[in-house]
Structure 1
C-alpha cells in the first residue's frame, strides 16, 4: 500500500512538470520578438586643407637685445674742479656733437702754458746768442790766423838778422818769438771754441725740443679742461657736478651713446645657419665666415610684436659660441629707416630692448605647408581618403612658428586635417569642411609667433588609435 502511494505521487510530480513545460513553450511561442535598431556609423565633422607643393622662402627667427654701435665713456684726462656743466647733461637727454659737456678750472693749466712758453723763449734767445758768438769767433779766428802769420814772419826776419847777419840783438828775436806764440795760442783757443759750438748747439736743440714738447703738453692739458661730445648722442650715465674735484683716476664721468646706429646680435643654431643662410668661408681666409648678404630683416619688439616693429639688414657674423653651438649674426638698424615693409613704427627702438628678428633664408621647392596643429605628437598627419581618416607618416623639413614645411610623405591634392582631433580609430568616417589656404596663412601672419626649430621626431609606424573630438 505504501509503495503504491509513492508511485502515485511520483507520477503526479512528473505530470505537473511536463504540464508546466508545455505551458511555458506555449507562452514563449505567443511572445513577440523586440524590434531591432538599425546600426548607423557616426560621422565626425573636421576641418581640412587640400595641399599642393609650394616653393617657400624659409624664415629664421631669433632673439637679441638692441645695443648701440657707438658707446663712449668720457673720463677727465686732467685733474681739477668742475666749474661748468652742460645744461642738458642729464641721463636720457641728447647733446649735439662738439658741445661742451663740462669744464675743469683752467687757471693752473693756463699758467703752465705761459711758463712753458717763457722757457721756450729763453732757450730760443740762448740759441741766438750762441749762434752770434760762433759767427763772431769765426771772424776772430781769421784775424788771429793773419796775426799769427805776421808774427811768424817777424820772428823769421829777426832770427835771420841775429843768427846769420848778426846785426840785431837776441832780445828782439825773443820778443818776436813771444808775440808769435801768443798769436798761436789765440788761434788754438778760437779753434777749440769753434769745435765746441756744434755740441753746444745740439744740446740747445734738444732742450728746445723738450721745451716745445712741454709747451705742447701744457696746451693739450689746457684743451683737456674742456670736454666736448664726440658725436650727437644720448647721455646714458652722469657722475659729475659743479664744484666736484675730478681727475684721470675717475672711473667714468659721462657715458654717451649713439642711438642713431643700433644693432642686434642674434644667436641662431649653427645647423640652421649652415642649411638656410647663404654663408660660406672667406676665399682668402677659410677659417671664418664670408660677409652676409645684406638682405632685409624684420625686427619686432617682444612686448608688442604685432604693432611695434622696424626694418633692418643683416650685417655680419659676430662670433661662434662653442658652448651653445650657436652662430651670432648681427642685424643692423639705422635711422632713418629705409622704407622696408612693414612700415616703421612711431615707437622708437632704443638700446636695451629685447627684440625678435625675422631673417629670410633660402628658398625650398616642392614642400607642403601645414599648420603646426596638423602634426601629431608622433610626427604623423591625418589625411582623408574616401571620407575616412588615415594616419600618414611625413618628414618635416622645418618648423616655422605656427606652421610646418613637409618635404616627404604627402601627394599633390591630398586632403589633410588642420588639427589633430580626439581619440578614434583609423578609418573613422568624417565630413570635411575645406579651409581656404590663403585665409589660413593670412590669419597666421596676423599673429606673429616665434619660429623655433623643433627636434627631429621619431615616428612610430605601428597601428594606433587616433584622438578625434566628436562634434
Structure 2
C-alpha cells in the first residue's frame, strides 16, 4: 500500500470518528430533554411571615419638669470651735460635757478660776475712782484759780497805782524818800509776778483737764476690760449646740486661743450636691432677672423644694429642703456643687417615724429643674442610644429618628414624634424595617385596633 493510500485511509477514519462522536452527543441531548419532560416538578412549600410580638404605648406630648438627681452628705451650717479667751485653770465643767450631748444656749460649758480677774477688776475700779477724783480736783482748782486771778489782777493794779503815786510825789514835790519809792516798786513787782504765774497756771488748766479726762477714759477702758475678762472666765453655749468633740478636763490649764471643743448648730443643715456642669447650667432654675453683672459667678437659684432620700432606706425616710445656691465649681471634675438647705421645721422626716436628718447621712437629692414643653416621655427600652424609636404603623414596624433631651430614671425624654404615635416599648435588637408586628397594649394581651 502506497503512502498516499495510507494517508487517505487515515483521513477517512478521523472523519468517521468525528461524525460518530457528534451523533452520540446529539443522542445524549435528545435523551436528556425527553426524560426531563417526563419528570413532574416538586410542589413548592408556602412560607408564612411570622409576626413579632411587641408591647406599645401611644405617645402624647406633655410638659415634663426635669428632675436632677445627685448625692451628698448632710452637714451643719455652723460648726464652731470653742476656745478660752483668757488663761487660767479650769475649776468647773458642765456635767454633760460629752460628745453627742445637746446643751441649751446660755448654759456654762466650763469656768476658769476667776480670782486673779476679780483682783484686777477691783484694781481697775480703784484706778477709775482715783482718776475721777483727780479730774474733779483739777476742775475745782481751775475754777478757784480763775477767781484768784481776778483778785491778783486787782492787787497788781493797786500796787502799780501806789507805785506811780509815791514815785511822782518824790520826783515832783520831794515828798517821801527814795526808799519808799523802791518799796512800792517791789510790792508792785511781787504783785505782777504772782499775777503772771497764776495766768500761766490758769492757761495750763485746760490741758490738765483734758489729760485727766483721758486718764478717766483709760481707767474706764481698763475697768471695762477687767469686767470682760472676768466674764470670760465663764464660757457659755452661744446657741442650742451639739457637742461634736471635746478635749477638756477639770483642773486643766488653758491658754487663750487653744481649741478645747467643737460645737455644731443642727438647727440648719445643708447638703452639697455635685452635678455635671453641662446639665447643671442647662437645667437648673437660675433667676435670670437677678443677674449681678459685677460678679463673674452663677446667678441666684430659685428656691424650689427638693426631695431628700436617705440612701440607707429611701422608701421610709424622706425630707424636704430648698434649693439655695451654687457653692463652688470644680475645674478638675467639671462639676458644679449645688447647696440644698434644710431649715429647722424640715429637720424631721415627712414619714410617720419622724427620724431627724443628721450630720453625716449620705442622701440622694431630687432637684426640680426647668420644664420642657411639648415633649414625649418614653421608657428607656423604647429609645436606642442612637436616638431611634420603633413605631407600629398598620401592624408594620417603622423606625423614627428622635432627639434625646434628658434621661430621667428609667425614662427618656425626647422630641421629634407626632402626637398619638404608637411607640414600641419592647426592646428590639436590629429589627428589619417593615416587619410584621403582633401589636399589644402595654400591660394586657388585647390587640390594638
Would you say same fold, with TM above 0.5? yes
Q: State the secondary structure of the residue aligned to 2:193.
A: helix
Give the structure 2 partner of residue 418 of structure 1.
Answer: 425
Alpha carbons of 1:191 and 1:412: their partners in 2 closer, same or farther (altered >3 Å)? closer
Give the structure 2 partner of residue 435 of structure 1.
Answer: 442
Aligned length: 408
The offset of 1:245, in angstroms, is 1.0
Give the structure 1 partner of residue 342 of structure 2.
Answer: 333
> What are the within-5 Å matches in structure 2 for residues 454-465 of structure 1?
none
1:88 is aligned, of 82, 86, 96, to 96
Q: Is the 8 A contact 2:156 2:192 kept in 1?
A: yes
The offset of 1:157, in angstroms, is 2.3
Q: Cα deviations across residues 38-76 of structure 1 (Å, max 9, x unaligned)?
A: 654444433332322222222122222222222222221
Alpha carbons of 1:167 and 1:34: their partners in 2 closer, same or farther (altered >3 Å)? closer
How far, CA to CA, are the matches of 1:116 and 1:327 in structure 2?
56
1:202 aligns with 2:207: no
How far, CA to CA, are the matches of 1:413 and 1:402 in structure 2?
21
Give the structure 2 partner of residue 75 of structure 1.
Answer: 83
> Is there any run of 5+ residues in structure 1 with no aligned partner, and where?
1-28, 438-471
Q: Cα deviations across residues 126-177 of structure 1 (Å, max 9, x unaligned)?
A: 2222223223322332222222222222222221221111131222222221
1:394 aligns with 2:402: yes
Give the structure 2 partner of residue 120 of structure 1.
Answer: 128
Alpha carbons of 1:136 and 1:54: their partners in 2 closer, same or farther (altered >3 Å)? closer
Q: Is the 8 A contact 2:242 2:264 kept in 1?
A: yes
1:262 aligns with 2:299: no
The offset of 1:388, in angstroms, is 4.3
How far, CA to CA, are the matches of 1:161 and 1:367 in structure 2?
128
2:308 is aligned, of 292, 299, 321, to 299
The offset of 1:425, in angstroms, is 4.4
Q: State the secondary structure of the residue aligned to 2:181.
A: helix
Give the structure 1 partner of residue 168 of structure 2.
Answer: 160
Q: Is the 8 A contact 1:310 1:344 kept in 2?
A: no
> What are the within-5 Å matches in structure 2 for residues 31-430 of structure 1?
39-250=47-258, 252-279=259-286, 280=288, 282-283=290-291, 285=293, 287-337=296-346, 343=351, 346-408=354-416, 410-421=417-428, 425-430=432-437
Q: Is the 8 A contact 2:319 2:347 kept in 1?
A: no
Which protein has the larger Cα radius of gyration, Structure 1 or Structure 2? 2
How far, CA to CA, are the matches of 1:201 and 1:94 in structure 2?
54
Q: Cα deviations across residues 94-117 of structure 1 (Å, max 9, x unaligned)?
A: 111111111111111111111111
Q: Is the 8 A contact 2:79 2:265 kept in 1?
A: yes
How far, CA to CA, are the matches of 1:375 and 1:66 in structure 2?
36
Q: State the secondary structure of the residue aligned to 1:412.
A: coil
Alpha carbons of 1:283 and 1:414: their partners in 2 closer, same or farther (altered >3 Å)? closer
Alpha carbons of 1:84 and 1:35: their partners in 2 closer, same or farther (altered >3 Å)? farther
Q: Cα deviations across residues 320-342 of structure 1 (Å, max 9, x unaligned)?
A: 343333333322211223999x6
How far, CA to CA, are the matches of 1:51 and 1:192 in structure 2?
105
Give the structure 2 partner of residue 462 of structure 1.
Answer: none
Farther-moved stretch of structure 1 (125-134 vs 104-113)? 125-134
What TM-score results when the alignment is normalised by the length of structure 1? Answer: 0.78
Give the structure 1 partner of residue 11 of structure 2.
Answer: none
Q: Is the 8 A contact 2:104 2:240 kept in 1?
A: yes
Give the structure 1 partner of residue 10 of structure 2.
Answer: none
How far, CA to CA, are the matches of 2:362 and 2:197 in structure 1?
85
Q: Is the 8 A contact 1:281 1:288 kept in 2?
A: no
Q: State the secondary structure of the residue aligned to 2:290.
A: coil
The offset of 1:313, in angstroms, is 1.6
Alpha carbons of 1:44 and 1:297: their partners in 2 closer, same or farther (altered >3 Å)? same
Alpha carbons of 1:83 and 1:198: their partners in 2 closer, same or farther (altered >3 Å)? same
How far, CA to CA, are the matches of 2:149 and 2:420 in structure 1?
116
How far, CA to CA, are the matches of 1:224 and 1:433 in structure 2?
79
The offset of 1:382, in angstroms, is 2.8
Q: Is the 8 A contact 1:389 1:427 kept in 2?
A: yes
How far, CA to CA, are the matches of 2:352 and 2:265 in structure 1?
20
Farther-moved stretch of structure 1 (162-171 vs 108-117)? 162-171
What TM-score results when the alignment is normalised by the length of structure 2? Answer: 0.81
Q: Cα deviations across residues 232-253 of structure 1 (Å, max 9, x unaligned)?
A: 1211121111111111241x22
Q: Is the 8 A contact 1:276 1:361 kept in 2?
A: yes
